[in-house]
């Protein structure tokens, strides 16, 4: 399948693995790239720029196909070593970077000066237009269904993707609620050039996370996520668990007076404990509504092959017969 995204990124299938904290390691990124998609290493999971260099080298040893590095720009009392991470990316010859979080304008010239293709993640059309004006090469448009941070506008992909298609000139992938061939065909129909999957890739054999994390996603339904930190305007969609319910009770009780320190026990330093140690009830961790569509833990190759096969069957077996063509003479 050829789209603007496959042509831009040099990949076989229009499927991108999004950056995920303590999930986007070399093993998963390489598996996605080897299966024809675009795998992604998450930079900020690596404690230092030197660690990122090592992780990129590890991925290079596992695949000879394109892969990306995710750089998320976050407000912080102690800013990460972004220049060091960017230098590690440049020195390793990585050709694709996924940016997310804050406006990437400060860092974009460093990336573009080295010919790096930049995909920026946005949750609204207005932010996407701004990123396009800054010179990003492509966009990941995140609907309200997505895991992690869906923004504050609450626009689902049935509206957000066509709006993006109406306004944008650069290629974009759809993120949030993407899991199978139906997702891909729907995204393409609404104007996207491919899909970005996060939660679905966590529940694969190669994802370097604890088996209890994968099983929790398989066991969940579309009713099992919660939105937290709305009062802080840092909304995050997470899988519900006892820690999340405690956090929500604090939010109800404290209302507008809540501060990050009030919920720090449920959110600070949680990801290593969840993803690596399997303490799935220890705190809040990102999970999308798409959990309701995830029922197994395949290999990455099996998943991507299945998505592409389903997509082809939907187009040729379901959609084409709907066309009312005159009978041949």
Tell me the pLDDT band of 33, cut-offs 50, 70 and 90.
Answer: very high
pLDDT of residue 77: 66
Domain coordinates of the chain in residue numbers? 4-207
**Tens-digit pLDDT profile for residues 196-255:** 999 999 999 999 999 999 999 999 999 999 999 999 999 999 999 999 999 999 999 999
pLDDT of residue 145: 97
Tell me the pLDDT band of 52, cut-offs 50, 70 and 90.
Answer: very high
pLDDT of residue 177: 97
The bridge status of strand 117-122 relative to strand 96-101 is parallel
The bridge status of strand 67-73 relative to strand 96-101 is parallel
| pLDDT above 70: percentage of residues in the chain | 98
pLDDT of residue 76: 72
pLDDT of residue 324: 78
Output the CA–CA distances (angstroms, integers) from residue 157 to 140, 191, 239, in the order listed: 12, 11, 20
pLDDT of residue 329: 53
**Tens-digit pLDDT profile for residues 96-143:** 999 999 999 999 999 999 999 999 999 999 999 999 999 999 999 999
Task: Find the angle CA(215)-CA(216)-CA(219) to the nearest 5 degrees.
Answer: 85
| pLDDT above 90: percentage of residues in the chain | 96
Average pLDDT of the chain to the nearest whole number: 96
Residues 6+ apart with CB under 8 A from 292: 220, 221, 222, 223
State pTM to two decimals. Answer: 0.95
Q: At which residue do the structure tokens 């370097």 appear?
A: 208
Cα gap 16→69, rounded to integer Å: 12
pLDDT of residue 325: 74
Give the least confident one: 26-35, 134-143, 245-254, 319-328.
319-328
Tell me the pLDDT band of 74, cut-offs 50, 70 and 90.
Answer: confident
**Tens-digit pLDDT profile for residues 141-190:** 999 999 999 999 999 999 999 999 999 999 999 999 999 999 999 999 99
pLDDT of residue 327: 62
Tell me the pLDDT band of 78, cut-offs 50, 70 and 90.
Answer: confident
Helix (H, G, I), strand (E, B) or coil at 269: coil
CB atoms near residue 297 (< 10 Å): 17
Tell me what the mean pLDDT of segment 292-320 comes to.
Answer: 97
Which one is the CATH code of 4-207: 3.20.20.70, 3.40.50.720, 3.30.465.10, 3.40.50.2300?
3.20.20.70
């Amino acid at each position: 399948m050829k789209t603007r995204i496959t042509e831009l990124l040099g990949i076989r299938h229009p499927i991108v693995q999004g950056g995920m904290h303590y999930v986007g390691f070399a093993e998963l990124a390489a598996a996605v790239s080897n299966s024809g998609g675009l795998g992604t290493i998450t930079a900020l999971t690596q404690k230092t720029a030197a660690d990122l260099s090592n992780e990129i080298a590890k991925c290079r040893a596992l695949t000879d196909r394109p892969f990306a590095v995710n750089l998320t720009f976050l407000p912080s009392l102690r800013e990460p070593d972004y220049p060091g991470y960017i230098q590690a990316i440049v020195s390793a010859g990585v050709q694709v970077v996924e940016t997310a979080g804050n406006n990437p304008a400060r860092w974009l010239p460093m990336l573009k000066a080295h010919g790096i293709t930049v995909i920026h993640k946005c949750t609204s059309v207005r932010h996407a237009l701004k990123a396009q004006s800054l010179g990003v090469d492509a966009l990941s448009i995140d609907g309200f269904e997505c895991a992690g941070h869906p923004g504050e506008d609450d626009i689902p992909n049935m509206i957000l993707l066509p709006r993006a298609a109406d306004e944008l000139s650069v290629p974009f992938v759809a993120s949030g609620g993407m899991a199978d061939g139906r997702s891909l065909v729907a995204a393409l129909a609404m104007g996207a050039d491919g899909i970005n999957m996060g939660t679905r890739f966590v529940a694969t054999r190669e994802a370097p996370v604890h088996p209890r994390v994968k099983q929790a996603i398989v066991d969940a339904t579309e009713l099992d996520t919660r939105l937290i930190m709305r009062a802080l305007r840092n909304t995050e969609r997470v899988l519900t668990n006892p820690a999340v319910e405690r956090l929500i009770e604090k939010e109800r009780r404290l209302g507008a007076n809540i501060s990050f320190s009030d919920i720090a026990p449920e959110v600070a330093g949680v990801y290593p404990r969840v993803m690596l140690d399997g303490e799935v009830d220890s705190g809040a961790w990102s999970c999308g509504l798409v959990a309701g569509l995830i029922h197994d833990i395949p290999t990455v190759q099996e998943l991507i092959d299945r998505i592409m096969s389903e997509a082809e069957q939907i187009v040729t077996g379901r959609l084409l017969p709907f066309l009312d063509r005159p009978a041949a003479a």
